[in-house]
Amino acid sequence: MSKLLTWPVPALLVWGGAWLLYLNASDYLAPLWAMALACAMAVAFSFVGRTPARRWALALGFPVSLWLSGADAIPAWGWLVPLALALLIYPVHAWHDAPIFPTPLNALRDLPQVAPLPTGALLLDAGCGVGDGLRALRVAYPQARFCGIEFSWPLRLAAALRCPWARIWHGDIWQEDWSGYDLVYLFQRPETMPHAVAKARESMKPGAWLVSLEFEATELVPTAVVQASADRPVWLYQAPFSQAPFN
């Protein structure tokens, strides 16, 4: 399975699958609808890309190759379809937040050693994508209750299918009230961490945990740090938070 995720194998599989779907669908549908169906499949599988550039390549590789092949049956405005589908998965509103980086399944397995939680604790994956973070949290805390919030409708639906044991809804993580959660998990970008710190300080209850994979909240003193892997720290902060020197 790991070899199937080694680049460029995912690209070849997704592009080849999209072409196969397009050629077969063209026997029953108008060319534009066949293209839209194949593009939707490519966009749906683009989350397997491990970087933003690869995800966009997976999503747009098929329509670009179709255009280069000289598909005269597609009207000029029809080439906006793949872009619209890609924007549905990666909405402009969320570009300043984290793109879709999957959390490895065992990345959070050591959290209970430094952040024990009672049975029934309520955990939030803020920006849950397709549910990888929720699944990793469940490995660490199998007796907890799980919630996820995601701004992209298609990703929210994919997460709900993959994590039927979690409550997942569409929304903005920065507008969500974090006060009721015992742990909030983030996998953001460094530039959005100050926003997360301000949100956590404003709303998280005493004793609750803010957990960030890879990216440190430099304004705070970490309560603990564990390793997801050799080069991927997991930063833990417990409320009330201690301000770091010079911040």
Residues 115 and 215 in one domain: yes
Q: What percent of the chain has pLDDT over 70?
A: 81
Same domain, 198 and 153: yes
Pair (71, 136) in one structural domain: no
What is the pLDDT averaged over residues 79-107?
62
Band of residue 95 on the pLDDT scale cut at 50, 70, 90: very low
Give pTM, 2 decimals: 0.66
pLDDT value of residue 2: 47
User: How much of the chain is in helix, strand and coil states, percent to nearest 5?
Assistant: 45, 15, 40
What's the average model confidence in pLDDT over 12-21? 84
Q: Is the pLDDT reported for residue 52 higher than 80?
A: no
DSSP-derived 3-state class of residue 235: strand
pLDDT at 93: 47
Query: What's the whole-number average pLDDT of the chain?
Result: 83
Decide which of 149 and 10 is more confident: 149
pLDDT digits (tens, 9 = 90+) for 120-164: 999 999 988 888 999 999 999 999 999 999 887 777 888 898 999
Q: How many domains does the chain have?
A: 2
93 against 233, higher pLDDT: 233
| Distance from the Cα of residue 181 to its chain's centroid | 20
* Predicted local distance difference test score (pLDDT) of residue 163: 94
Strand arrangement of the beta sheet that strand 209-213 belongs to = 167-170, 145-150, 122-126, 183-186, 209-213, 232-238, 224-229
Q: Are residues 47 and 7 in the same domain?
A: yes
Same domain for 117 and 86: no
Residue of 30 and 109 predicted with greater confidence: 109
Q: Which domain holds residue 153?
A: 111-238
Residue 97 falls inside a structural domain: no
